[in-house]
Each structure stands twice: as C-alpha cells, then as structure tokens.
Structure 1
Amino acid sequence: MTVSAKRRAFLKGLGAAGLGAAGLGGLTLPFARTVMADATPVRRAIFVFIPDGMEYQHWHAQGTGTNFTLPRMTQPLERVREHCVFLSGVNMFGPGSTHEGGIAKLLTGAAGRVFQDKKVSLDYYLGEWFRNQSVRPHLNLGIVPIYRDKPITYDLNGVPVMPEMNPLAAFTSLFGEEANNNFVEQRRLSALDASLQELNALRAQLGTAEKIKLDMHLESLREMERKLASTTAGSCPAWNFNPTGFQVTRTEIWRNPEYLDTNQLGVISDLHMDVAVHALACNLTRVATLVWNNSVNDVVIKDAGSYKTCHQASHEGGEDFIKIKAWYTEKLAQLIERLRSVPEGNGTLLDNTVIFLGSDLANGSWHNHDNMPFILAGGAAGGLVGGRSLQYNNAAHNKILVSIAQFMGVNINQFGTEDSTPGPLPGLLA
C-alpha cells in the first residue's frame, strides 16, 4: 500500500470513529470545538414562536419595574417571573399587518410583504456566525404544524428554511442511533489511542512537511479528547430522553405521521423542548428555534381545556383564547425550568441562554403589530435582569433583535430594515 493509500485509510478510520479529518492539506476541523470544559460558558439563544397573538388586557404585565402582576394569559410564568422580562409598547413596523406579514417580520426585522423584502432571520444569522463552533449551526424545530408553508426562519438569501418536525429524528441527527445515558463515556473513547500503532507506522513514511501537518491536525484532535475527558458526567448527560416511549412508525407526510398528531401535542412539545435543551447543554448548537404549531393555527389543544382552534378563539376572544394562550406560556415556563435545572459554570444553562418569545400578531382579532406580545427570559450571565416589566413608547422590535445579538457577543448595532434609530432596546441588558 502506498503512503497516500495508507494515509487515506487512516483518515477513513478516524472518520468512522467520529473524529473524521478533512485531509492533511487543510487544518480546519470538520467537527465542532466543544466548550463543555471551558471556564467561561458560551452564550446561547432560543427563539420561541406561538401563533395568533393575544388580548392586551389578558397578556401584558400590569405595572412596571419589579412591581407588577401577571394577567391570566401569562399567569403560568408567575413561578419563574424572576427569570422573565415582560415587554409592552414594542411594535413591528413596516407593511404587512397580517399573520403572514408577522412571521416574515418577527426574526428578520424587515417588511412583512409576503415573498418580498425578506431578509435573513436572526436565528439563522447567529447560527452562521457560530458555524465553526458547533456541530449544528442552527437547530430549527417545528412542533405539530398544520400548515407547512409558514416558516419564521430565512437564510442569507431570504429563502424560507423548513423546520424539522419529528423530534425523534432531530434527536438522532444530533446524538446518533445509540444515544443513551452513557453518552459522554462513549465519546471519551480515544480513537487515536486505538490507532496509535498504525499512526506511528504512517508517520514514519511521511516527509517533513506532511509530518508537521499531521501533528498539528492530531493535536487539535487531542485537545478535543482532553476537553471531553475532563468533563464530569453531569456536564453533558444524555438525560432520559423520550420517557413516554413516543414512537414514529409512519414517516411519510402523506400518511399523517405520529409527530403531527394534535392529540399528542403535549408529549411532542416536551420532546422538542428536550432536544433543544440537550443540544444546547452539550454545545452541539448555539441557536435553537421552537415554532409551536404555526401562524393561523387550526390545532385544537384539548389539554388547554378548549375545543376551539387557536385561530378561531383569537377572533372570538374570551375564555377559550385565555386558556389556549395560558397553555403556551405554561410550555415557556417548563422550558425555563428545564434550562434552569442544568448546572453550568457558576450558574445554570438558563443563565447563559436568552429566550425570546414572540408571535405573528399583537391583538389576535385586530391583525395588528402594535404592542406585540414579547417576552425575554434567562440570560442573567449576559446582563438580562429578570423579574421586570418594561414599558416602551412605540419602540421598534428590531432593537430586541440587536440586543439578542449583542448578548451573544455579536457586535452589531442594527438588524433588519424597519428601525430608523439603530441600537439595542434601552434598559433591556445591564
């Protein structure tokens, strides 16, 4: 076997072990740099979408600063209020005061003319920014959508990005078919040590320049091993995923797969949230998007205690709409609690993660974008002080997007096209 053939065979062996090298000619690693053992935890962002707006009097916090009460739609967040910032008086500007216009605006900060003026969305933008520092640049999850043509995520060319709707497929794509509770231990096995004899034989046949390239590349792999080996089992556990034993036996969309079963919305929601928390805790991604159902949501959420669809209830208002919106904010509270339960550095995963919740409309029956239902949570390590109600006077929601980017360490002062006064949202981050 020639030196080149031996080199290819060795690198193929590394690839089979999950450490695959792109080739000796380049030093860019094809896998992420893990930071689980770093002294300073990285920052993350989760973007949460819930459909069809709200009713002002039942959603917005009553009072300002730390002295406020939560009405019924947001009451489930009372138990985690110390981690939340409730915003009012923030608008999505630009044309397109519709459901479709709202989802086009929400994360892009651009105009809401459908199929026009779409810019990149912040979730995708941040994913690309940290592309070389995570396995999955952006984790995009769609939770039981009825319509699959209403995404909120757009790529660098303004093309809609479809979410993964199957939580089991999303988990497998991140952790593999055999992921279980010894996830960390499996990844501590040294593919390099197992191949040491072959490696030394190959190295002896390389020229000086090739040896230098190989040594530099292998040192990068060794650094990965050292970081994995220095973690404790609690740093990146494969928690008990899918405890209910949810199964997907029908994978084709036309066969109505189980992950689109509205009767199992609660279980499917929990699985998607767990996928996101797993991925963030293990630094497999820095950015996750959770899209609950979709705009113009025709799902009946029986667990909410209503037999009306969210869209129908949004036009009628009243008790059904209150119950449905409270169901969504209950899920947000559970997401906050999941993140808070994961220790990280001197705090928790929640401290290093900012959550942004938004919708496609403000008042669901008016189809407007004034005084939007925006909530932020977590992010204490980046200066987001929770337990507050902040009221603004027609502030552009673009400023929230800028603030989130700055929390992530991305030094921009403007995002989107619909804010004439660039900068972050005043008073949001310390």
Structure 2
Amino acid sequence: MSTHHFSRRAFLRGIGVTMALPWLESFNVWGDEPQKNKPASEAPVRLGVLFCGNGFHSKEWWARGEGSAMELGQVLAPLHDFREKLLLVNGLYHEEARKGNIHSSQTGNMLSGAPIASGGEIRSGTSFDQLLAQSYGRSTKVPSQVLACERSNPAVHKNYSMLYSSHISWSSPTTPTPLELFPALAFDRLFKDEATPGEKSVLDAVLSDAQDLRRNISGNDQHKLDEYLDSVRDVEKRIENAGQRGELQGWRPTLEKPNIQRPADGIPQDIGEHMRLMCDILVLGFQTDTTRITTLKLNNDHSALRFPNLPSVQQVGHGIDYMIHHLLSHSDGPDWLKVNQFFMEQIAYLVRKLDAVQEGERTMLDNTMLLTCSSMMVGARHNNDELPVMLLGRAGGRLQSGRVLDYKDKPERQMCRLFLSMMDKMDVRLKTFGDATKRLEEV
C-alpha cells in the first residue's frame, strides 16, 4: 500500500471534537516537518512526572545490579518486569528544600530547586516541566497536563503555605499550575474543542470520520486504530461509572447511602480507580500527541488519603483507613510498606500501558521519560538530604536504562543537574537551571 504524507498530524473530527490519531504505519502523523536525523514520522520524546508524597519505607526503596539481573527492594517490586527500562538515581537533593520547615518547603520546589517564601507570601520557581511546556510543548494542542488525585490544601503549616505541599508544577515563581482532579474534564481537554454536554461521547462524534479512515489504511493500522478507539471508549465508560462503588477515599462516611443526588462529573471515590483513570488519560494524551508533557500528583505531601481497600497487616480484619497517609508514613511499618506498593502498582499499571503501545520499532515507553519522585526519602524522618528518584523509559533511545547511579558521596549532587540532562533529551538546552550549572553526564 502506498504511503500517504500529511504536512501536519492526522485527526478524526466531529462537531466540537478533534481527536488526534496515534502513530500509524500508513502515513506520517508525528511532527510538522522532518528535522535533521529525525524524520517527521518518528514519535517524539515525552515527559511524565509522577509524585508520591511523604517518602517511602526506610529499608525497601533500593535496586542493585543491572538489566535483567537487577534486584529490587519490596517498594519497587511491582516494577520487576520493567527492570531493563528502569534507572534508579540515588543521592540527589535540593539545597533550598533543606532551609525551611518540613513538608511545604520540601515540596514546593520539587521540580525547580528554587528558594521558598515563608509567611503569607507564595513564591517558588518555574518548574522544569513548565519550562518544557513553554517551548517543546507549543507544537501540541495541550502544552502540558497537570493532573492530581488529591485536592490542594490551602492551610498553613509552621509558617509555610500548604499550597507548596499540594503543587509540584509551577507556571511562574508565584503561580502554581492549576490541578485537574476530575478525570472527565481532563479527558474533555484532550478531545473536545468547545463546551459540550458531559454525556456526549467523543467516539460517537467522530465515528463517521473513523469509518472513512479505516477503509484507507493497512490491516495492521486497522487493528491499531480499533485498539485505540476501544481504549478511548473504555476510559469514557469508566469515567461515567466512577464514584458509583462503595469504597470512599479519605474518610468513613456517616451515611450508608448518599442523601443527595450524585453529581454527574465528580471525583472517583475509589482512589485506585482515580489513579488508574488519570494514568489512562496520560497515555491517551501521549498516544495522540495531544500533549507531550504530563505531571501527575498521586497525592499531596502531608497527604490525608486513606486506603480502606487495602487489608491491614497491623490491624487484622480492617482496611488501612485507621490513619491518614501522612501519619502512616511516620510508622514505617508493614501497612506503610503495603501502601507504598499500592502506589508502585499504579505506576506499574501506567508503565505496562505505555509499553503496550507500539510506535514503529519502539514502544511508547521507549519514547518516554517517566520520572517518579518524592519530597523526602523516609516519612518517619522527614529527611531530604537524599531523595527517592527513579526514571522509567528510554527517551527515544537517548537514555540508557537498566542501571543504578549513586551520587551520595559526590560533591555536586543537585537534583537540578538531572533536570538539565532531561531537558537536553527533549532538545531544550539551558546553561543553568535552579542551582545547577552542569548536567549529570551519566544520565
């Protein structure tokens, strides 16, 4: 079959809906014009940042060895199948994050390394994901997505605003990037061009265009298109059903049944389903090249989430809802480990979905850098002299994975050095960023 060429990426269209297509072999859909040593049909490098508040179990965040022989601690065990696409970076930290209080000033500069203002003032620094969005992200419909599974906290803790604990993405030093907590609204932003009734299906709107396209592409691409449309339909249905289950995150209800009608487009009350829906939306955004940059905050630092869906080891016969996430992190016990693993299971779910999408000779995971981080290593100690940092994916072949790098005893171990290296891999090259003037050459 002859190859069709389009000067811009291909779309399915309907009234009020524009639905970008994934990579297809029948024609080029990535990029506007070929670049040197990079044809237009090659998938771009994407950035995903995942944040888990309050650190991890003191003894179980570790990896040793290389490639398929790499051993993982119990926190990272859910990622066993992806050891060859994992890069653990030990010993990095932010100097400015060590100058204020705990929690707020440890989190508000997570992606910038900037000084944090105390008192009533809100001031941090522009985060590296938003610097990328200002340049690299301009070629997509949505320059960046900033998703969250826990609401922002406007309170004050030890003279610092808790907005710092709730936001890792900052559009400017005084502007935390707005969080999208609602899966339905995040989904609409990817596909809808205008305000439309929430019950209107994106797929129904583009069905006629999809049928026309299907007649003009290869058998392999027909299968890929069907898989893609099925995944969009699945997310639509799950968003529609979200919140109808009995599990509630964050508290125990005082009523057995709601005494008011359920809002149509609310936050899923099952925290696992909420996280997975946001992961699905991240994948759809990358798969259609609607966005190349997504930040997903799974919870706040100083988080109030509870986990009644997880059976307790410490209180047999009960779920892990006897203590909020923040206080549970102080215990460093078996229930804390179980919650850590639950978070990693959601990340493994995301990684598996990314790795299942084929883009030419690579998978979408191969074309992505997925950074997982927290504002402290161990919640019981609030220590941020070294931070838990992990990368998954290979940045389009620019990142060597299946390794462990250790900077603990090295003099220049600013985390901003990692950000400089990551921005390089997305062709945004800065001389300095935050407190860093050098890259991490090994990354």
Length-normalised TM-score, structure 2: 0.72
Q: Which residue of 194, 201, 219 maps to 1:178?
A: 201
Correspondence 1:141 to 2:147: yes
The alignment covers a number of residue pairs equal to 357
Q: Gapped runs of 5+ residues in structure 1?
A: 1-13, 20-32, 191-226
2-structure distance, mates of 1:181, 1:80: 36
Q: Which residue of 340, 361, 368 maps to 2:383?
A: 368
Superposed displacement of residue 171, structure 1: 0.5
2-structure distance, mates of 1:145, 1:299: 10
Superposed displacement of residue 49, structure 1: 0.6
Correspondence 1:398 to 2:398: no
> Which secondary structure does the structure 1 equivalent of 2:432 belong to?
coil
In the alignment, is the contact (CA less than 8 A) between 1:36 and 1:228 conserved in 2?
no
Which is bigger in relative contact order (C-alpha 8 A, separation at least 6)? 1
**Letter of the 1:365 counterpart:** A
**Letter of the 2:228 counterpart:** P
Q: Which residue of 348, 351, 356 maps to 2:366?
A: 351
1-structure distance, mates of 2:294, 2:418: 17
In structure 2, the partner of 1:77 is: 79
Superposed displacement of residue 332, structure 1: 1.0
**Letter of the 2:178 counterpart:** M
In structure 2, the partner of 1:322 is: 337
Q: Gapped runs of 5+ residues in structure 2?
A: 1-12, 19-27, 33-39, 155-162, 193-199, 245-259, 312-319
Matches within 5 A, 1:23-422: 35=30, 38-61=40-63, 63-66=64-67, 68-94=70-96, 95-96=99-100, 98-114=102-118, 115=121, 118-145=124-151, 147=153, 149=163, 150-176=166-192, 177-180=200-203, 183=206, 186=209, 232-233=221-222, 234=224, 237-238=228-229, 239=231, 240-244=234-238, 245-247=240-242, 259-260=266-267, 262=269, 264-305=270-311, 306-307=320-321, 308-393=323-408, 395-416=413-434, 418-419=435-436, 422=437
2-structure distance, mates of 1:89, 1:134: 35
1-structure distance, mates of 2:205, 2:401: 35
Distance 1:413 1:323, change over 3 A: farther
Superposed displacement of residue 426, structure 1: 2.8
2-structure distance, mates of 1:181, 1:342: 23
Superposed displacement of residue 189, structure 1: 7.4
**Letter of the 1:282 counterpart:** T
> Which secondary structure does the structure 2 equivalent of 1:57 belong to?
coil
**Letter of the 2:351 counterpart:** I
1-structure distance, mates of 2:358, 2:101: 42
Superposed displacement of residue 116, structure 1: 5.6
Distance 1:184 1:103, change over 3 A: farther
Distance 1:113 1:156, change over 3 A: closer
Question: Percent identity of the aligned residues?
Answer: 22
For each residue in 1:189-242, what CA deviation from the matched residue of structure 2 results, as whole angstroms up to 9, or x when unmatched? 79xxxxxxxxxxxxxxxxxxxxxxxxxxxxxxxxxxxx999x945269332324
2-structure distance, mates of 1:426, 1:184: 48
Distance 1:247 1:325, change over 3 A: closer
> Which secondary structure does the structure 2 equivalent of 1:340 belong to?
helix
**Letter of the 1:285 counterpart:** T
Superposed displacement of residue 352, structure 1: 0.9
Superposed displacement of residue 285, structure 1: 0.5
> Which secondary structure does the structure 2 equivalent of 1:130 belong to?
helix
> Which secondary structure does the structure 1 equivalent of 2:326 belong to?
helix
Name the stretch that deviates more: 66-75 or 329-338.
66-75
CA RMSD, 1 decimal: 3.3
In the alignment, is the contact (CA less than 8 A) between 2:136 and 2:428 conserved in 1?
no
In the alignment, is the contact (CA less than 8 A) between 2:286 and 2:292 conserved in 1?
yes
Distance 1:301 1:101, change over 3 A: same
Distance 1:363 1:45, change over 3 A: same
Bigger radius of gyration among the two: 1
Superposed displacement of residue 243, structure 1: 4.5
**Letter of the 1:121 counterpart:** S
2-structure distance, mates of 1:340, 1:73: 21
Superposed displacement of residue 304, structure 1: 3.5
In the alignment, is the contact (CA less than 8 A) between 1:144 and 1:293 conserved in 2?
yes
Superposed displacement of residue 387, structure 1: 1.8
Superposed displacement of residue 370, structure 1: 1.6
For each residue in 1:94-116, what CA deviation from the matched residue of structure 2 results, as whole angstroms up to 9, or x when unmatched? 12352111221211121244546
Length-normalised TM-score, structure 1: 0.74
**Letter of the 2:202 counterpart:** A
**Letter of the 1:104 counterpart:** G
> Which secondary structure does the structure 2 equivalent of 1:141 belong to?
strand
For each residue in 1:84-133, what CA deviation from the matched residue of structure 2 results, as whole angstroms up to 9, or x when unmatched? 11121111221235211122121112124454651101111111113431
Distance 1:113 1:318, change over 3 A: farther
> Which secondary structure does the structure 1 equivalent of 2:170 belong to?
coil
Superposed displacement of residue 46, structure 1: 0.4
Name the stretch that deviates more: 304-313 or 289-298.
304-313
Distance 1:106 1:246, change over 3 A: same
Distance 1:181 1:82, change over 3 A: farther
